[in-house]
A and B are shown apart, each in its own frame.
Chain A
Amino acid sequence: MMNNEILKLHYDIVKGDYIRGGEASSNIKKALMQLGVDNAIIRRVSVACYEAEINIVIHSLGGYMEMKIYEDAVEIIASDVGPGISDVGLAMTVGYSTATQGAREMGFGAGMGLPNIKNNCDELKIDSTEGGNTTITMKIYFK
């Protein structure tokens, strides 16, 4: 259960923009630091955010990230406008990747993204349809 929204941040993410990719996660991290959130929690949120943001840059046609901070938790929504994940179960497999050569040259595409998001979240929901949008909802509680 999440109580009382304190802050909401929204960032558009551009397809293939490896230079600005990560800026949204950086801003989210800085906001959490300003709010005095525990460092270990910030690290988990940052890694989950960054993996999700880079996924949008690498795999999608573009999208957005939204972070809502509540009194007891952080909720991050990473959503894109396609082309969707054909097999979510396969995408969750460590080592499985459909990343392009360009993404690999930037140091990504090891097939660790979604599994690492899962490891850093208390709750994870992936909604995706092949040929359609993908929305990932991540929750991390302050505890």
Chain B
Amino acid sequence: MKICRINELLNTGPIICCDDMEIDIKYGFASDLMSDVLALANHNVVLITGLINIQTIRTAEMMDIKWIIFVRGKIPDETVLELAKQNRINVLCTKETMFRTCGILFGNGLQGAEISK
């Protein structure tokens, strides 16, 4: 699924630090627990989370995750967004809940990530 399609489906508004709207992403991983992301996710996913603090960006950085969707209408503060930019991590924000976000994306072809362990 192309990022521009995710943007359209979730009405995410402007993408922060957008590298490439045409990039294709196959898998999603949703969690508010960064411990689980670190233990179970793969690097080639879009991370769907409602946790908007700096450690979400650190977690993505360590895992080489380049795309994050923040759900439930939450918008990270400037410090968090700046760290995302420094690490070329692309950030999208949607008002949809995590459940609906996952449902919409899955229904339109994004697959659940195979867990890595």
Contact = CB atoms under 8 A, between A and B. Distances in A.
Interface of A: 18-19, 21-22, 25-26, 29, 39, 43, 46-47, 49-51, 54, 106-113, 115-116, 119
Contact of B58 (A26, A39, A109): A26
Nearest to A23: B58
A50 B39 contact: no
A22 B58 contact: yes
A19 B58 CA distance: 10
A28 B55 CA distance: 16
B35 A108 contact: yes
Contacts of B53: 18, 106-107
Contact of B36 (A21, A54, A110): A110
Interface centre among B32, B53, B56 (most CB of A within 10 A): B53
Nearest to A21: B55
Contacts, number: 72
B35 A111 contact: yes
Contacts of A43: 43, 62-64
Given A43-B64, A119-B117, A51 B38 contact: yes
A64 to B, nearest CB: 18
25 contacts: A18-B54, A19-B54, A22-B54, A22-B58, A22-B61, A25-B58, A26-B61, A29-B61, A46-B62, A47-B62, A49-B62, A54-B55, A107-B35, A107-B37, A107-B55, A107-B56, A107-B59, A108-B55, A109-B35, A110-B39, A112-B38, A112-B39, A116-B38, A119-B39, A119-B117
A50 B18 CA distance: 26
Q: Which 3 A-B pairs have the closest CB atoms?
A: A107-B34, A110-B35, A22-B58
Contacts of B33: 107-108, 110
A84 B54 CA distance: 27
A51 B68 CA distance: 20
A39 B64 contact: yes
B51 interface: yes
Contacts of B34: 106-108
Contact of A22 (B55, B64, B117): B55
Contacts of B117: 119
Nearest to B58: A22
Nearest to A104: B33
